[in-house]
Amino acid sequence: MTWEIVIGLEVHAQLMTHSKIFSGASTAYGAQPNTQACAVDVGLPGVLPVMNREAALMAARFGLAVGATINRVSVFARKNYFYPDLPKGYQISQFEIPVVSGGTLEIHTPEGEKTIRITRAHLEEDAGKSLHEQFRGMTGIDLNRAGTPLLEIVSEPDMRSPAEAVSYLRKLHSLVRTLEICDGNMQEGSFRCDANISIRRHGDKTLGTRTELKNINSFRFVERALHHEIERQIAVVEDGGDIIQETRLYDPERDQTRSMRSKEEAHDYRYFPDPDLPPLVISEADLEQLRRELPELPDAQLARFISDYDLGADEAVQLTSQKEIADYYENAVTKAGGETRLTANWINGELMSWLNRSNTAFTDSPVSPTMLGQLVQRILDKTISGKIAKEVFQAMWNGEGSADEVIASRGLTQITDSSAIEQVVSDVIARFPDQSEQIRAGQEKVIGFLVGQVMKATSGKANPQTVNDILKKQLLS
Ligand code: ADP
Ligand code: MG
């Protein structure tokens, strides 16, 4: 392909503080409009913002986790623009000196691990929301969201495909949730992404003109929106045209992007330090404590899963992609008597597919880690075969009880008594003389057919290996 794709992402992560970044109003989602906006949030004259320390410490926590520089003194600035959902006429953000500078994130790509550089992460307040649907011919303004703390995380233009962009987003999503600084709820807008994208000829040193895609609130849409935009840009350039630097909106219903505003119409924000707020200071003692309290990070967890649990990289990536999955797995392993690989198989296979099909979250799985662990134990101790285990799993899913209860109530225990199997094997040999003769004549492959017949006769409850051994003994010795 002639074209190299260049992508840089700006992510807004809503910080999980109880109160707003510069006021004491609640940040809880879903309240009646304007019931959670105080005098500071609605921009009444004469009130003063007071910095929420918790938000600053969360930003620093993020910085430590990505190996960034935490600026010990950072500055809040006013970003001036007019919009109905911004009654003050400016948004408080950080500009020249953000709280976090630099840092990196490792992503998993089909070609291996890749490092994406983070430019900066800065604190800012969210704006309110315009409501267009409820009122005919009018727009309503809900200021509940005004003043909600956001951490804007800006990446370098280091991604080279939509898949890499999604990989980066997933990694960041998992990280902020592990750090417990953002709940990651994309439907509620707690984790939103603007994607900047350009193309250039392979080997070119300078970057092409970029467009910015807004309004993408799911991993799937990010990938789709980027693909569309790449195709559009290539078509424009190959037609002899130029890319205009502009903001485009992704419309998931029509599955296309359209222009929102061009850079010529872009605002001059006239940033200047906010005189109402002192510089944000983070002390060495704060950092020490944050370092001590840092949880195990996704990369470390991934490495530990691969080495301690003897898992393949892809398997471990799946299991560590969400905190809930990793917790589920580690609980199930304990309950399975320490068996790691079979447990991983069952989670990544059967459990995932049932959860996906019914759109159920891991934390709401009707099959608990304890139940899955016991199921794995019953496979290992040969009480049931892997095939019967699927039946047991389905019964557990449908609320028929634990693995042991299902095995007992449905009479699924594997026949381990070899004299009972010997009897069935003799019957099968008698019923299929031709096939038995072929095996005696050296066509060992045919044995599979007889094993199948014995399994059928025992409703799948015989151990296939034992059946195989007994058949060979009876036919070949
Ligand atoms: P702005 O201040 O206008 O938002 P920035 O320089 O801060 O612009 O860049 C915003 C984002 O755009 C960053 O994530 C950056 O990596 C990305 N970016 C910048 N230039 C390009 C480009 N030519 N192609 C793709 N992404 C780009
Ligand atoms: Mg920007």
Ligand lying closest to the C-alpha of residue 152: 2
Residue 166 Cα, ligand 1 centroid: separation in angstroms? 17
Residue 10 Cα, ligand 1 centroid: separation in angstroms? 8
Residue 290 Cα, ligand 1 centroid: separation in angstroms? 30
Q: Return the percentage of the chain with pLDDT > 70, whole number.
A: 99
Sign of CA dihedral 191, 194, 200, 206: negative
Shortest CA distance to 213 belongs to which of 185, 193, 233, 232? 193
Give pTM, 2 decimals: 0.84
Which of 10, 95, 196 is the best mutation target for the ligand 1 pocket, counting ligand atoms within 8 Å of the beta carbon and taking the most? 196
| Ligand 1 atom at minimum distance from 157 CA | 16
CB-CB neighbours of 272 under 10 Å: 13
Ligand lying closest to the C-alpha of residue 233: 1
Report the pLDDT averaged over residues 304-330: 93
Q: Is the pLDDT of residue 130 over 70?
A: yes
Sign of CA dihedral 333, 169, 78, 80: negative
| Ligand 1 atom at minimum distance from 10 CA | 14
Least confident of 9-13, 18-22, 135-139: 135-139
| DSSP result, 358-418 | TT--GGG-SS-HHHHHHHHHHHHTTSS-HHHHHHHHHHHHTT---HHHHHHHHT---B--H
Considering only CA atoms, which residue is closest to atom 22 of ligand 1? 210
Shortest CA distance to 3 belongs to which of 231, 244, 158? 231
Considering only CA atoms, which residue is closest to atom 4 of ligand 1? 10
The pLDDT, as a whole number, for residue 458 is: 85
| Ligand 1 atom at minimum distance from 154 CA | 14
Query: What is the residue-averaged pLDDT of the chain?
Result: 93
CA distances from 248 to 150, 161, 195, 217 (A): 22, 19, 10, 14
Tell me how far apart the alpha carbons of residues 16 and 150 are, in angstroms, rounded to a whole number: 9
Residue 197 Cα, ligand 1 centroid: separation in angstroms? 8
Angle (CA) 194 196 199, round 5° = 155
Evaluate whether 74 touches 271 at the Cβ level (below 8 Å).
no
Q: Is the pLDDT of residue 267 over 80?
A: no
The pLDDT, as a whole number, for residue 263 is: 63
Q: Is the pLDDT of residue 1 over 80?
A: no
Residue 8 Cα, ligand 1 centroid: separation in angstroms? 6
Residue 210 Cα, ligand 1 centroid: separation in angstroms? 8
Q: Which residues line ligand 1 (CB under 6 A)?
A: 6-10, 154-157, 196-198, 207-208, 210
The token pair at 213 is 């895609």
The pLDDT, as a whole number, for residue 8 is: 98
Angle (CA) 96 5 268, round 5° = 30
The pLDDT, as a whole number, for residue 411 is: 84
Report the pLDDT averaged over residues 193-214: 95
Residue 43 Cα, ligand 2 centroid: separation in angstroms? 24
The pLDDT, as a whole number, for residue 264 is: 57
Q: Return the percentage of the chain with pLDDT > 90, whole number.
A: 74
Ligand lying closest to the C-alpha of residue 246: 1
Considering only CA atoms, which residue is closest to atom 8 of ligand 1? 196
Q: Is the pLDDT of residue 360 over 70?
A: yes
Which of 159, 205, 210 is the best mutation target for the ligand 1 pocket, counting ligand atoms within 8 Å of the beta carbon and taking the most? 210
Phi then psi dihedrals of residue 309, to 5 deg: -105, 0
Q: Is the pLDDT of residue 302 over 60?
A: yes
Q: Higher pLDDT residue, 227 or 262? A: 227
Tell me how far apart the alpha carbons of residues 225 and 199 are, in angstroms, rounded to a whole number: 15
The model's pLDDT over 96-120, given as tens digits with 9 standing for 90+, comes to: 999 999 999 999 888 888 999 999 9
Report the pLDDT averaged over residues 221-246: 94
Ligand lying closest to the C-alpha of residue 230: 1
| Ligand 1 atom at minimum distance from 212 CA | 12
Type of residue found at 283: S
The pLDDT, as a whole number, for residue 38 is: 95
Place of tokens 């004259």: 45
Evaluate whether 331 touches 342 at the Cβ level (below 8 Å).
no
| Ligand 1 atom at minimum distance from 196 CA | 26
| Ligand 1 atom at minimum distance from 209 CA | 23
Q: Higher pLDDT residue, 461 or 242? A: 242
Residue 239 Cα, ligand 1 centroid: separation in angstroms? 25
Counts for the chain of helices (H) and strands (E), in that order: 16, 17
Residue 196 Cα, ligand 1 centroid: separation in angstroms? 6
Ligand lying closest to the C-alpha of residue 198: 1
| Ligand 1 atom at minimum distance from 156 CA | 16
The model's pLDDT over 151-198, given as tens digits with 9 standing for 90+, comes to: 999 999 999 999 999 999 999 999 999 999 999 999 999 999 999 999
Q: Is the pLDDT of residue 9 over 90?
A: yes
Residue 5 Cα, ligand 2 centroid: separation in angstroms? 19
Long-range contacts of 288-296 (CB under 8 A, 24+ apart): 290/57, 290/60, 290/61, 290/64, 291/64, 293/61, 294/61, 294/64, 294/65, 294/179, 295/178, 295/179, 295/180, 296/178
| Ligand 1 atom at minimum distance from 158 CA | 16
Residue 154 Cα, ligand 2 centroid: separation in angstroms? 8
The token pair at 430 is 């008698």
Q: Is the pLDDT of residue 265 over 80?
A: no
Place of tokens 């095995």: 407
The model's pLDDT over 400-425, given as tens digits with 9 standing for 90+, comes to: 999 999 998 988 887 777 788 888 99
Ligand lying closest to the C-alpha of residue 124: 2
